[in-house]
Structure 1
Amino acid sequence: MSDETKKSTKKIVIFASGSGTNAENIINYFQNSKNIEVVAVLSNRRSAGALKKAHHLNVRPLLFDKEALYYSHEVLNVLRDIDPDLIVLAGFLWLMPTSILEEFPEKIINIHPALLPKYGGKGMYGERVHKAVIENNEKKSGITIHYVNPVYDEGQVIFQETVLIEENETPESLAAKIHQLEYKHFPEVIQQLLEDKK
């Protein structure tokens, strides 16, 4: 790969805490792209499926702990070395430290499985969100992709897509619908953001 090609290739770093289905989907989406590449997947959990999926897909997997993220700047230094064009939080459950937010302004995005500002905040993730949505008799739910700021789920909204909630909806059936929205739209929004960054 020439230096010119390297320079023009947009780099994505993914943070994930869980099974890594969104991370895997994003990696696969850009696998054949000539100018966008997922270069690393970082996780705070040794057992995270995201790290295994990254390894299988030939993307650098990196495990870190609270010390490395919040106190020693180890994660910040890794990110400085990579110099990503976009940092994508895909089911990452820790708050991003101010040091990283300041180093990469408008370059960190997150996906949330509800229509923010409703059903966001600390502890609101996965099935907890879907359960709350159904218990409150909402007629619709969806996904929100937003920029990350120092408060959980309060950054500027980039994109939302909705799905209707059926009468007999369960948290599991709603989760399945939300996953489909995530798989379809998250890579497309990432691509759009990177293509807009000249």
Structure 2
Amino acid sequence: MKNIIVLVSGGGTNLQALIDASERGEIKGGKITCVISSNPNAYALERAKNHNIATDIIRRKDYASLDEYDKALTELLKSKNADLVVLAGFMTILGTGVIRAFENRIINIHPSLIPSFCGEGFYGLKVHEQALARGVKVTGATAHFVNEVCDGGPIIIQKAVEIQNGDTPEILQKRVMEQAEWKILPKAVSLFCEDKIKVNGNVTVIAE
């Protein structure tokens, strides 16, 4: 049984999707053993406590440099025996140390169909604002491994969501979460825990 550590900073809706999927038996071969927050006031911590999941806090401002924070986070994850790290609304940049220590073992969920509307500066409502401004007809979400390029790691699963007339960034954000993010993130986590993902360069092959 693989240990899944979830990193959070805010409300924790994607964390809740993972918890719900786990409790329904949809995450095979893995268990959420700890939730770590960069924000001691994150509601995500309450979600974890409500389901008897251990929590911890690591704040960027408690460390003088990104290097020190990177080392501390790496050691914290190792101390939790992390097999898989999931970024579920984690708003602190990961350093190269933790990314290398957990190569192809960190999964992120991004609210667009990568490579569209991704990279530095594309997060939260900004992604949906840009999608609407560009006039695309389809958007969606992507579950991917994290590497040293922002939103540039190997793609695991994508799910499309249609844009509708009258959409606002807020309406579109909610639809992408409900129809795509909350479905594919637990699926990607389960595939990892079942050892069904093979990475060849920047491409994944999913076992049937």
Query: When the two structures are superposed, what TM-score results if normalisation uses the length of structure 1?
Result: 0.88
Identity score, percent: 34
CA deviation string 1:40-80 (max 9, x = no partner): 11111122111121112111111111229740522222211
Q: Which moved more, 1:72-81 or 1:19-28?
A: 72-81
Structure 2: state its 5+ residue gaps. Answer: 198-208
Report 1:96-107 matches (<5 A): 96-107=94-105
What does residue 14 of structure 2 align with? 22
Give the whole-Å Cα distance in 1 for the aligned partners of 2:196 and 2:54.
24
Give the whole-Å Cα distance in 2 for the aligned partners of 1:114 and 1:148.
15
Using CA pairs below 8 Å that are at least 6 residues apart, which structure has the higher relative contact order? 2
What does residue 68 of structure 2 align with? 71
Give the whole-Å Cα distance in 2 for the aligned partners of 1:79 and 1:54.
17
CA deviation string 1:127-177 (max 9, x = no partner): 111111111111110001111011221111111111111122111221121
Letter of the 1:89 counterpart: L
What does residue 190 of structure 2 align with? 191
**Secondary structure of the structure 2 residue equivalent to 1:196:** coil
| Runs of 4+, deviation exceeding 6 Å | none
Letter of the 1:16 counterpart: V
- CA RMSD in angstroms, aligned pairs only: 1.9
What does residue 44 of structure 2 align with? 50
Structure 1: state its 5+ residue gaps. Answer: 1-8
Give the whole-Å Cα distance in 2 for the aligned partners of 1:197 and 1:131.
35
1:95–1:150 contact (8 Å) kept in structure 2? no
2:106–2:145 contact (8 Å) kept in structure 1? yes
Report 1:62-141 matches (<5 A): 62-66=56-60, 67=63, 70-71=67-68, 73-141=71-139
1:95–1:151 contact (8 Å) kept in structure 2? no
Offset at 1:81?
1.7
Give the whole-Å Cα distance in 1 for the aligned partners of 2:11 and 2:192.
25
Offset at 1:122?
2.3
Query: When the two structures are superposed, what TM-score results if normalisation uses the length of structure 2?
Result: 0.84
Offset at 1:197?
5.8
Offset at 1:188?
1.4
Offset at 1:35?
3.9
Letter of the 2:182 counterpart: Y
